[in-house]
Chains A and B, each alone.
Chain A
Amino acid sequence: MFRRSLRGPRRSWLRRARLRQPLPVYERHVIHLEDKEFTDNLDENLKNLKEALGDPGDLFWRYLEDGEKTVAVLLYFETLVDSDLLGRQVMEPLNRRLQEAKGLLDAGALKKALTFPKVLTISHLHQAVERLLTGDVLLLPAGAGVVLALPMLGVPRRPVEEAQTEKGIKGPREGFTETITDNIGLIRRYIKDPNLRLEKKVVGERTKTEVAVVYLNDLANPDVVAEVRKRLEQIEIDGILESNYIAELIADRRWTIFPLVQETERPDKVAAALLEGRVAIFVDRSPFTIIVPVTSNELYQSQVDFYYNPFIASMLRLTRAIGTIIAVTLPGFYLSFISVNPELLPRMFIQLEASSRIQVPLPAALEMFITLFAFEVLRESSIRFPSGLNLIIGVGGGIVMGLAAINAGLVSGITVAVVVFCILGTFSTSNPAKEQAWRWVRYLLFVAGAAFGFMGVIATGVLVLAHMAGLKSFGVSYLAPWAPPLPVDMADAPARLPWWASYRRPPTYRPREEDRLGETEGEK
Chain B
Amino acid sequence: MLREKTGIGPGLFFMVLYVSTFGYGVIHAPRVAAEYVGPNGYWGFILAFLLAIPVMAGIAWLGRRFPNRSVIEYLPQLFGVFLGKLLGLLVLVAILILMIRTSRIFSGGVNIFFLRRTPAWAPAALYLLISFYIARQGIEGITRLAAFVFPLTFVLSFLVILFSMENLELDNIRPVFFFESGRAVAAGTANQFSPFMVLLTALLVNPYLTRKDKTFPALAGATALASLLLLLTIVSGIGTYGAEGILRYSFPVFELSRKTQLPFILQSLALLFSATWLSQVLVATGFYYFLLAEGAAQWLRVLNYKWFTLLLLPPVFFLSLFLPAGVIGERTIAASLRVGSSLFTVGLVLALVIVTIFRRAGDQDARQELS
Contacts and interface: CB of A to CB of B under 8 A. Distances in A.
Given A344-B271, A462-B283, A485 B141 contact: no
A477 B122 CA distance: 33
A247 to B, nearest CB: 22
Interface residues of A, number: 32
Contacts of B114: 340-341, 453-455
B302 A458 contact: no
B250 interface: no
Interface string A1-41: 00001111100000000000000000000000000000000
Interface in A458-474: 458-463, 465-467, 469-470
Given A458-B279, A463-B133, A484 B307 contact: no
B148 A483 contact: yes
Interface stretch (B84-92, B123-131, B229-237): B123-131
Contacts of A454: 114, 271, 274-275
Chain A interface, >50% SS class: helix
A9 B306 contact: yes
Contact of B307 (A5, A452, A458, A485): A5
Nearest to A486: B11
A452 B141 contact: no
A519 to B, nearest CB: 28
A456 interface: yes
Contacts of A484: 9, 11-12, 143-144, 147
Contact of B144 (A6, A340, A460, A479): A479
Interface in B140-188: 140-149, 151
A453 B115 contact: yes
B147 A482 contact: yes
Q: Most chain-B Cβ atoms within 10 A of its Cβ — which of A344, A454, A463, A469?
A: A469
Given A455-B123, A479-B148, A462 B271 contact: no
A346 interface: yes
Nearest to B152: A482
Interface string A315-357: 0000000000000000000000000110010100000000000
Contacts of B11: 484-485
B196 to A, nearest CB: 24
A466 B134 contact: yes
Nearest to B276: A458
A197 to B, nearest CB: 30
B130 A458 contact: no
Given A452-B122, A458-B278, A465 B307 contact: no
B282 A469 contact: no
A256 to B, nearest CB: 12
Nearest to A471: B141
B126 A452 contact: yes
B317 to A, nearest CB: 16
A461 B307 CA distance: 25
A455 B127 CA distance: 10
Contact of A466 (B1, B130, B267): B130
Nearest to A337: B271
B123 A452 contact: yes
A458 B149 CA distance: 12
Given A340-B115, A485-B147, A463 B304 contact: no
B279 A470 contact: no
A456 B274 CA distance: 12
Contact of B302 (A6, A453, A477, A479): A6
A6 B148 contact: no
B77 interface: no
Q: Most chain-A Cβ atoms within 10 A of its Cβ — which of B12, B114, B138, B304?
A: B114
B145 A469 contact: yes
Contacts of B302: 6
B356 interface: no
Contact of B142 (A460, A467, A469): A469
B93 interface: no
A303 to B, nearest CB: 26
A470 B278 contact: no
Given A340-B115, A459-B278, A465 B149 contact: yes
A284 B304 CA distance: 43
Given A346-B267, A452-B126, A466-B130, A8 B144 contact: no
A470 B4 CA distance: 13
B130 A452 contact: no
A455 B12 contact: no
Interface in A482-504: 482-485
Contacts of B282: 459, 462
Given A466-B134, A484-B11, A452 B145 contact: no
A278 B143 CA distance: 26
Contacts of A340: 114-115
A9 B133 CA distance: 16
Given A469-B137, A484-B11, A458 B144 contact: no
B127 A465 contact: no
A483 B275 contact: no
Contact of B303 (A6, A453, A465): A6
A349 B215 CA distance: 50
Given A5-B303, A454-B274, A470-B138, A463 B144 contact: no
A8 B3 CA distance: 9
Q: Most chain-B Cβ atoms within 10 A of its Cβ — which of A465, A483, A484?
A: A483
Nearest to A347: B267
B336 interface: no
B225 interface: no
A466 B286 contact: yes
B126 A462 contact: no
Interface of A: 5-9, 340-341, 344, 346, 451-456, 458-463, 465-467, 469-470, 477, 479, 482-485
Q: Which 6 A-B pairs have the closest CB atoms?
A: A483-B147, A470-B141, A470-B137, A469-B145, A483-B144, A469-B144
Given A466-B141, A466-B145, A470-B137, 9 more contacts: A7-B1, A454-B271, A455-B115, A459-B278, A462-B134, A466-B286, A470-B136, A479-B148, A483-B147
24 contacts: A6-B302, A7-B1, A8-B1, A9-B306, A340-B114, A452-B122, A454-B274, A459-B127, A459-B130, A459-B278, A460-B130, A462-B282, A465-B148, A466-B145, A469-B144, A479-B144, A479-B145, A479-B148, A482-B148, A483-B12, A483-B145, A483-B146, A483-B148, A484-B12
